[in-house]
Structure 1
Amino acid sequence: MLAYGLLALGLSGALALVTFNVVSDYLTEQRISSALVETADNAAALHYGLFDAAPPCRPSRDNPAECTTVPASRPAPDVMALLDQLPSTDSAASLLFFHDRWYSAVGRPVDLPADLVNAAKSGTEVNRRIEVAGQQVLAVGVPLTRSGEAFFEWHPLTGLDKTLRMLKITLVVGALVTALLGLAVGRFASTLALRPLAELTQVAAAVARGRLDARLQAENDPDLGGLARSFNQTAAALEQRVVADARFAGDISHELRTPLMTMMNSMQLIQNHRTELPPAVREPVELLGDDLDRFRRLVIDLLEISRDDGGDQGLRETVRIADLVRAAADATAGRSITDVAEDAADLTMEADKRRLERVIANLVENAEDHAGGCKGVTVQAGGRGVIVYVDDAGPGIPEADRERIFERFGRGGGDGQSRGIGLGLAIVARHVEWHHGLIEVTDRPEGGARFIVELPTKSR
């Protein structure tokens, strides 16, 4: 678009410059030529009145109808009368230097440049653009027959200057309009040319967000058909692979649930009788119990991930956000930790209760088990509708790890310690995105980390 605009501006500017120079030169030459012709004609008429008028005559005695030339001396011509009798032209002033005197009908001799006057007196026809009383005029000098005598006129250039000014404005406006048209044409051309690439970008972004069923509709495009087919085949293969992996993870998780429940029940039975165990056995049993609990949570998380990857659409229903967050957070922490702002108490949204409860539970559980305990959960109106803050008492999360902790099996921690087994926060990010929300982590003002979840409400 910029290239089209600059090209149009360059071409129109060059054309405008050439047009202005040619037209202005032509109009100026025509104005000078007209002024020279008019001044020369007036000078000729004045010359006739001064030098070439016929001598007076008287009637003949023999024939009264005949005129006899009187050789008597001629009276001196009336110069001012001759100047007043000159044909009316567009000149603004007429001046005559005759018999070492200045005669002027209109204008002052002092307004004429001395060199121009001297050139005309010496027998050279001259013209020059000068300024008289703030007005631009063309001064023209024409020599008379006798040396040292000349006739001068100046012609106003106001009309010519106005015409050139209007021409300049018209050409500038035309160049700007042409540049704008070039920008419009460039935008249209670039949009038309890049439309398939824009569609490719949108579809690729959708696939990156997890919409593996997104496909390009440009397979018949003569330019991008091959790329579109290749992309669609790759996306289809990726979708099949992800579904197969999700099905495999789900099958494995389901198969593990039965032996896991047997082991958990057996461990619970052993822990109920741990006082009867020898002291050397109690510590290994406690460690085994902790690992079994981690294994249980891993299996649950794998089932959750495989459910999402398998295309589970969930069930949306209207929920009161504050009540759901309070119930999930307090139940996970085993105590009351939720604070609801007055403006958020009645906010509702279309949500999958299971997914949203899992978001809050995972964040609180992460704070309780790996960040020194949950310092509180706050619900207030703002952002996209409602904002949920989950604060912990841990060392915080470095900025370099704040994106990575939401990846699968991503780990982070300000002191180098692991924050969980890496699936809980990934599930949180997936579920928040499923609700068209946002999640980020920042520093808590009093120390520790603060997870911020923004969710869209039905109305604000």
Structure 2
Amino acid sequence: MILRKPVEVEFESTGKGVQADPWTPARGWEARAPLRWRLSLLTGVVCAGAVGLMTLVTYGLVGSLMTADIDSELESQSTALLEYTLAADPTEDIADQISTFKGFHPNTRVSISPSEWTYSYGDSIPVGGELNPTETQSQTQTSVRTIGQERVITKQHSSGAVVVLARDLAHTRELISTTGTVLVVIASLGILMALLAGMWVSKTGLGPITRLQRAADYVTQTNDLRPILVVGSDEIAQLTISFNEMLSVLQEARIQQSQFVADAGHELKTPLTSMRTNIELLLMVNKPGAATTISEQDRKELEEDVLAQMTELSTLIGDLVDLAREDASEKKAEVVELHEVMETSLERARRRRPDVEFKVRIEPWIVQGDQFALGRATLNLMDNAAKWSPPSGVVRVTMHQISDYEMRLRVDDSGPGIPPEERDKVFERFYRSAEARSMPGSGLGLAIVRQVIERHEGRIMVKESPDGGTRMEVILPGQPGSGRSYEDAGLEGEDSGSERREIFAQRWFNQT
């Protein structure tokens, strides 16, 4: 509706959390690549990233666990050797123990230095690294380090005894490398399966969209607006429902357009046919040497009839243009001083029917909307009341505030009135009652009025006026305006009192 303030949204192409403009076409490869391939690639990249990350984590975890297992084994072995060194004969038992140990662990070198000795038994292994106290034995310090292809552990007692073990890591590193190769193969297969899964997911997921596209192509090619079958209740189903609603609106608009064209053609045909007949008759009697002649009075009446038909045709075309204008896109709302619009419409209505008396009371009122459309609607209401009022009849126009946000406009005539069964039909396009067919008019005036009022979020009703004529009552939202009330010719007596009582009752009802 025109009274709703449009929401202004700024769209930006960059920035975190900023919505992109949905009407701006995308650029780059994503605009050229099909959606299926983009979805497949996206799924594959996500899965490949996950598989790659898990491969790296697994490879590092396996290496760390194997190294920790070697350290734990060297720790227990060095502890046992150190305890044996502290209790054994330094000259015989240590050498035998080293030989026995190396027999069971051929890939481990051993160096033992007893307490208070300046040399060591076994292999030549450098002692180094930062010695840290052992948690379980406060008199022992341990150092663990990697030298070349060996993992070296040094365990030193406070008495001076030192045990050094060096384990060859070639086999372990070969095993870790093999494990990495296997993981790379598994990751590659996983990435390939992810790409295939992405293609399958895109094909399956985009199936309903492809079906919707075929339906849109069918509508474009055949102009058949039949609805599409809705399957499921997911987002694609909701999109299909929205598409069907759009097709329904298009179908309704097409029917209205066809009906409007048919009705307009029919209404235009009648005055054109009559005008053509009269003009041909005038041409025939004015043709030199014509055998048929008519009197001057008949000629004058015929010319007046042609002019009246031209006026009727011009009015009908103007009404059609106004109606088409109301059907078109809405204009931006503006502040409208409705009381000023009413005064302008009143002056025009009085010039058209100087034999009808207008009694007016108007209060200042402001609405948000289209000033031209409101002026056309109010003029149509007054013209319609004046048309049905007899000569020396009275048209009463009152506009009063009935609440803090609503105004009531009444236009009463002194004509024959409208039967209750026809009151809803008078707002239909081209509708004319049996009594109205003998009077000038196109049957579009009140249709335009209702369309304008509803576009401004108002409502219009047909009632009976106090003197038996027709009352057109309009309720429009807005707010009180500034300035003085306009009153012309006065509205005194019973009608004025009932008007005040109704306004008081309405305001009391709104407050309670």
TM-score over 0.5 (shorter chain)? no
TM-score (norm 1): 0.42
RCO comparison, higher one (Cα < 8 Å, 6+): 2
TM-score (norm 2): 0.38
